[in-house]
Amino acid sequence: MTSRTGFIDRNTILHRLNPAMKLCALVSIAVATIVYPSWRLSAIVLLSILVCFRLSHVPLRLTKGRMKFILTFAALMLLLQIIVIENGSILFYLLPQIGSLGPFFPVTDFGIERGLDIVVRFLLIIFSSILFVSITDPTLLAYSLVRIGIPYRYAFSLVLALRFLPLFDSENNIVRMAQQSRGISLEVGSIHKILRSVRYTFFPLLVSALSRVDSLSLSMTGRGFGYSDKRTYLRITHWSPSDWAILAISVIFTIFCFILALGLLPQVSRFL
């Protein structure tokens, strides 16, 4: 079954981990790699993320649309860094000397290193995000957030928002078709035209969306939403020992990266 979110429902160890823990781990990884952007360290983490893709039976689809875009973008970023950075030992020139012209665009070891730092960090953040989304049931994510102290009515707004996505997608399609069938095309030639295009798309959808608010909130109130501060759940999320272990590893990893970034472990940061 396809759904609008990236969640791929499988029954693997990674799928069964606590969603809130997975979110913490994801945030830890992102913070760590932003604090200490070393491509060597990030690449190690990235590799283990790729292993997790395998473990969770989530296909990577490197050649499909979005992935292709991400990889192309990463390649462009690397190229940009290499061109912009001139310091370090020159390895070769992108445009070698021809007669008296050039050489241009020196490629330096420092440039490549900096480029890799940025690109691997980017890939790590994106790939771990994709992994998280693929292996986390969004409903359980919301419910597990309740378990760590967020009031259930707030957390439930995530479920609500995701529930309406496919509906709004399809209404968006219909609105666009209705525009076409009336001869309206989207134009972006001037601010005036952009505003018109936006208005013609946003207004019908907004009215349609907001007109559902009354009926939905009545229906939810009629089923006891807000009846108590607590609530039971049909599907329960647990914290297992492996959840605690992974959480501990992620936190320690983040602290480690802070220590490296502060230069407190020069003998280690020389290698990482």
Partner 1 sequence: MSLDRSTAQMTREIVTVAVLASLGGALSTFVGYLGNLINAGLGVPFGAGQFMAGLHVFWIVLIRLLVPKRGVGTAGGLLKGFVEFLTGSTHGIVVVLVSVIQGAIVDLGATLGGRPSPAGPGAKLVWWLSAGVSSASNVLALQFLYFSGAPAIYLFLIAVLAFCSGIIFGGYFAWETMQFLYDARVIVPVSEAAVPVLSSKRRIRIRNLPAIVLILFLIVGSSFYLAFVMKALSDPYSCEVTGLVTNPYTFTYSAFAGEQVTIVAELKGAYISLPPANYTGVLLSVILANASPQSGASMLSVSARDGYVVDFGLDGVLADGHLLLTRADDGLWLIAGNYAGSMWVKQVTTLRVY
Partner 2 sequence: MLEARHVTFSYDGIQPVLRSIDLTLQRGETLLITGPTGSGKSTLAKFLCGFIPRIVRGECSGVLSIDGDDADSLTLTEIARKVSLVQQDPESQICTLTVSDEVAFGPENYLIKPEVMTRLVDSSLASIGSSHLAGRLTYALSGGEKQRVVIASMLACQPDYLILDEPSSSLDQKGILQLGQILSELKKKNLGVICIEHHLEPFLPSADRVLSLSEGRLFPWAQDVGRRGGPFQNHSVLPIETDALASMKNVSFAYADRPVIRRVTMAIHRGEVIALMGDNGSGKTTLLCLLDGLLNPLEGEICLGANSVKRLSKKDIAKKVAMVFQNPNNQIFERTVSREQLLTLDVLGLKESRLTENSGARLDEAGLAEFKDRNPFALSHGQKRRLNVCSAVVHDPDLYLFDEPFIGQDERGQRFITNTIAERARTGGACVVATHDLPFAAEYCSRLVFLENGSLLFDGRPESVFHRLEQTGRPEYSLGKVAS
Judged by the rule CB under 8 A, the positions of this chain that interact with partner 2 are: 1-4, 138-139, 156, 159-160, 162-163, 166-167, 171, 174-175, 177-185, 199-200, 203-205, 207-208, 211-212, 215-216, 218-228, 230-236
**Residue 130 contacts which entry, partner 1, partner 2, none (Cβ below 5-8 A, type-dependent):** partner 1
Q: Which of 267, 218, 195, 253 has the alpha carbon at shortest distance from 36?
A: 253
Shortest distance (Å) from residue 72 CB to partner 2: 25
Shortest distance (Å) from residue 271 CB to partner 1: 18
Q: Is 140 in contact with 19 (CB distance < 8 Å)? A: yes
Cβ proximity to partner 1: between 53 and 73 the closer is: 73
Cross-strand pairs, 106: 93
Shortest distance (Å) from residue 228 CB to partner 2: 6
**104: helix, strand or coil:** strand
Cβ proximity to partner 2: between 3 and 72 the closer is: 3
Shortest distance (Å) from residue 238 CB to partner 1: 22
**Residue 236 contacts which entry, partner 2, partner 1, none (Cβ below 5-8 A, type-dependent):** partner 2
Cβ proximity to partner 2: between 168 and 258 the closer is: 168
Identify the helix (H) or strand (E) that includes residue 91.
Answer: strand 90-95
**Residue 195 contacts which entry, partner 2, partner 1, none (Cβ below 5-8 A, type-dependent):** partner 1
Identify the helix (H) or strand (E) that includes residue 170.
Answer: helix 152-181
**Residue 27 contacts which entry, partner 2, partner 1, none (Cβ below 5-8 A, type-dependent):** partner 1
Encoded amino acid at 76, one letter: L
Shortest distance (Å) from residue 131 CB to partner 2: 20
**Residue 204 contacts which entry, partner 1, partner 2, none (Cβ below 5-8 A, type-dependent):** partner 2
Cβ proximity to partner 2: between 230 and 270 the closer is: 230
Rounded to the nearest 10°, the torsion over CA 80, 83, 88, 91 is 110
Identify the helix (H) or strand (E) that includes residue 178.
Answer: helix 152-181
One-character DSSP codes across 182-230: TT-----SSHHHHHHHHHHHHHHHHHHHHTTHHHHHHHHHHTTTTSSS-
Cβ proximity to partner 1: between 10 and 163 the closer is: 163
Cross-strand pairs, 107: 92
Shortest distance (Å) from residue 252 CB to partner 1: 20
In the chain, the N- to C-terminal Cα span, in Å, equals: 42
Question: Where do the H-state alpha helices sit in 36-151?
Answer: 39-55, 65-84, 109-135, 138-147
**Residue 18 contacts which entry, partner 1, partner 2, none (Cβ below 5-8 A, type-dependent):** none
